[in-house]
Amino acid sequence: MNLADTIRAIPDYPKPGIVFRDITTLLGNARAFRRTVDELVQPWAGGKIDKVAGIEARGFILGGAVAHQLSSGFVPIRKKGKLPHETVSIAYSLEYGVDEMEVHKDAILPGERVILVDDLIATGGTAVAAATLIRSLGAVVEAACFIVDLPDLGGADKLRALDVPVRTLIEFAGH
Residues serving a catalytic function are 58, 95
**Number of C-beta neighbours around residue 37 at 10 A:** 19
CA distance 117 to 61: 9
Q: How far apart are CA 38 and CA 149, in angstroms?
A: 18
For 66, half-sphere exposure in the C-beta direction (CA atoms, 13 angstrom radius) is 36
- CA–CA distance, 159 with 123 (Å, rounded to integer): 10
What is the spatial distance between Cα 86 and Cα 69, in angstroms, rounded to a whole number?
Answer: 28
